[in-house]
Amino acid sequence: MGWLTQLKWMTNYKKYLKTLILSTALAVLMLLIALGLMFFATVSAGVRPNPVPGPFILLIFAIFFIIFSVFYESGDKSKAKRNDVLQSLIRGFFLAICATFAIVAATGGFILMIEGVTPGINMLISALAVCMIVSMVFLSTVKHLKY
């Protein structure tokens, strides 16, 4: 019986691997955003210049706004009402702000990591572990939501 249970686990390893990879990727993104917030604190204090100029931030926002607005607009196949179009624009606007913030902050965090101004390897590994736990909780709750 022992080899049968091992064989059954081997067929489900893709589920575990997919969850581990997704959780780790989300954790790295969260860590980069947190480091990016630290980076932009030094930018706002005037210690260093902003690495992402305003026009590029506006361009990133415009691209995400178009993508998310079209995504929400295409969800309803029937004739779009005026209220539905307005809702899709508002949702697209909100998600575009969130995505732009995440991309710009992750860029700042990446620059901070490259410069080597991180708080230390032990603190970085601990923060990554906490982010992995938080991302796993997030993935578990999102998986069980009904739309």
Confidence of residue 19 (pLDDT cuts 50, 70, 90): confident
> Which is nearest to 27 in space by CA: 15, 16, 35?
35
Confidence of residue 37 (pLDDT cuts 50, 70, 90): confident
Q: Which residues are within 8 A (CB) of 141 and not within 5 positions of it... i.e. 6 or more apart?
A: none
> Looking at residue 13, what is its pLDDT?
73
Cα maximum dimension of the chain:
66
Q: Is the pTM of this model over 0.95?
A: no
For residues 139 and 20, give the distance between their C-alpha atoms in angstroms, rounded to a whole number: 11
Confidence of residue 98 (pLDDT cuts 50, 70, 90): very high
Task: Say if residue 11's pLDDT is above 70.
Answer: no
Task: Say if residue 96's pLDDT is above 70.
Answer: yes
